[in-house]
Amino acid sequence: MDTVLLDNFLASVVAQAAKSLELTDRTTEEIVSEDEMLLSAARYAYAQVASYTGRQFVNDTYTELYTDEEVRIKLRNTPVTSTPIVYDEEGTQLVLDTDYKVFKNYVIMDVDASPYEYFITSNAEEDHYNVMIIYSGGYESAQEDPILESALALQTVANYNRRAHLGVALITAQSGGFSGGAIRIAPEMLGIDSSLVQEAREILSPYVYYGSAVDVNG
Q: What is the pLDDT of residues 139-194, one digit of tens each?
A: 999 999 999 999 999 999 999 988 766 654 333 223 333 333 333 444 444 444 45
The boundaries of the domain holding residue 160 are: 3-56+141-207
Looking at the chain, how many residues does it have?
218
What SS3 class is residue 130?
Answer: strand
pLDDT score, position 137: 98
Domain boundary among 138, 154, 177: 138
More confident residue, 202 or 28: 202
Do 115 and 157 reside in the same domain of the chain? no
Do 50 and 151 reside in the same domain of the chain? yes
In this predicted structure, the answer to whether residue 14 has a pLDDT above a threshold of 90 is: yes
Domain boundary among 83, 117, 138: 138
Number of domains within the chain: 2
Do 126 and 104 reside in the same domain of the chain? yes
Q: Which residues, at least 6 apart from 65, have a Cβ–Cβ distance to it below 8 Å?
A: 130, 131, 132, 212, 213, 214, 216
Domain boundary among 114, 138, 162: 138
Do 113 and 148 reside in the same domain of the chain? no
Instruction: Order the strands of the 72-74 sheet from edge to edge.
Output: 72-74, 106-108, 101-103
Do 72 and 126 reside in the same domain of the chain? yes
Q: What is the pLDDT of residues 76-85, one digit of tens each?
A: 999 999 999 9
Q: What is the mean pLDDT of residues 70-79?
A: 95
